[in-house]
Amino acid sequence: MKVSTQSRLVRADARGRLSLGRPHAEFLLSEQPDGALVVEPTALVSSLEAALLANDDIQHSMAMAHQGEGLVRRLHGRRDVTTE
C-alpha cells in the first residue's frame, strides 16, 4: 500500500458523504483492522472485456490493427483480402 505524504482535512456533508474531487471516478474502499479507511482509485472491467484482454490471439490482432496491418474478412463467402 502506498502511503501519501500529503494530508488534507475533509469534512462530511449533511448526509455523511465526502467528496474526493473526481466526478464519476471509481474507488475501492477497504477498512483496516485498526479502523482506518483506505480508498484506492480503480478501473472496473466487465467479464467480457477481461476475457478479450486475456486472449493472446485477440491482443495480437488488435496490435496489428493499431499498426494498420491485418486481415480484412468479407462476409457472405467473399474472398479474404490481406492488407499490408
Dump pLDDT digits (tens) for 22-65. Answer: 788 888 889 889 988 888 888 888 999 999 999 998 888 888 88
Gap between the Cα atoms of 2 and 84, Å rounded: 45
Task: Locate the domains of the chain by residue range.
Answer: 47-83
pLDDT exceeds cutoff 90 at 20: no
Over 60: is that where the pLDDT of 81 sits? no
Report helix, strand or coil for 27.
strand
pTM of the model: 0.44
Task: Report the C-alpha gap between 63 and 56 in whole angstroms.
Answer: 10
List the one residue out of 10, 39, 43 whose CA is nearest residue 26: 43
Residue in the block written with cell 485498526: 34
